[in-house]
C-alpha cells in the first residue's frame, strides 16, 4: 500500500471513530436532559460528564484528522433514544463498543506510525474503562 493510501485508510478509520463520538456527545446530552425522578441526582452528572468526554474525544479526533491532511466528517453515527435509564445505559454500552471497535481499527490502520499508535492506545484504554463501567451499570447485582 502506498503512503497516501495508508494515510487515507487511517483517516477513514479515525472518521468512523469521530462519527461515534459525535453521536455519543448528543446521545448522552439528551439523556442528561431526560432523566427524571430520584435517579436524576445520580445519572444527570454521569450523562453530562460522559457527553463532555465524548465531545473532548471528538475535538481531539477532528484536530488529528486535519493534522493528517484529512477532512473530518460532519455525519454522526446513529443516535439511539430511550425511555428508561436501563435502556439508555444499554444503548450507551452499544455505542461505546462501536467507538472502541472504530479506535482499534484505526490503531490497526496506523501500522508503523508509532506516535499515532501511542495516542490511540491512550484513548483505547479510557474507552475500555468506560465500557467496563457501563457493563457493571447494566449488569445489576451478581447474586
Ligand atoms: Fe470516547
Are 29 and 90 a contacting pair, CB within 8 Å? no
State which residues form the domain around 16: 3-139
Task: Report the separation in Å between the CA atom of 143 and the middle of ligand 1, taken as the mean of its atom positions.
Answer: 31
Task: Report the separation in Å between the CA atom of 54 and the middle of ligand 1, taken as the mean of its atom positions.
Answer: 5
Task: Report the separation in Å between the CA atom of 63 and the middle of ligand 1, taken as the mean of its atom positions.
Answer: 15
The 10s digit of each residue's pLDDT in 73-103 is 999 999 999 999 999 999 999 999 999 999 9
The 10s digit of each residue's pLDDT in 14-44 is 999 999 999 999 999 999 999 999 999 999 9
What pTM, to 2 d.p., does this model score?
0.94
Task: Report the separation in Å between the CA atom of 96 and the middle of ligand 1, taken as the mean of its atom positions.
Answer: 7
Task: Report the separation in Å between the CA atom of 131 and the middle of ligand 1, taken as the mean of its atom positions.
Answer: 10
> Number of structural domains, the chain?
1
Tell me which residues have their CB within 5 A of the ion that is ligand 1.
Answer: 57
Per residue, the 3-state secondary structure of 6-74, as one string, reads HHHHHHHHHHHHHHHHHHHHHHHHHHHHHCCCCCHHHHHHHHHHHHHHHHHHHHHHHHHHHHCCCCCCC
Report the alpha-carbon angle 95-100-101, nearest 5. Answer: 95
CATH code for the domain in which residue 70 is found? 1.20.1260.10
Amino acid at each position: 500500500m502506498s503512503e497516501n493510501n495508508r494515510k487515507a485508510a487511517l483517516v477513514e478509520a479515525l472518521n468512523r471513530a469521530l462519527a461515534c463520538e459525535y453521536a455519543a456527545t448528543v446521545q448522552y446530552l439528551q439523556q442528561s436532559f431526560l432523566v427524571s425522578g430520584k435517579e436524576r441526582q445520580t445519572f444527570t452528572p454521569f450523562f453530562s460528564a460522559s457527553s463532555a468526554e465524548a465531545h473532548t474525544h471528538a475535538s481531539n479526533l477532528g484536530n488529528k484528522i486535519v493534522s493528517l491532511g484529512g477532512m473530518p466528517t460532519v455525519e454522526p453515527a446513529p443516535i439511539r433514544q430511550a425511555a428508561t435509564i436501563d435502556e439508555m445505559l444499554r444503548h450507551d454500552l452499544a455505542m461505546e463498543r462501536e467507538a472502541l471497535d472504530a479506535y482499534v481499527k484505526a490503531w490497526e490502520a496506523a501500522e508503523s506510525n508509532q506516535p499515532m499508535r501511542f495516542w490511540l492506545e491512550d484513548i483505547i484504554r479510557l474507552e475500555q474503562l468506560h465500557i467496563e463501567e457501563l457493563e457493571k451499570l447494566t449488569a445489576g447485582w451478581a447474586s
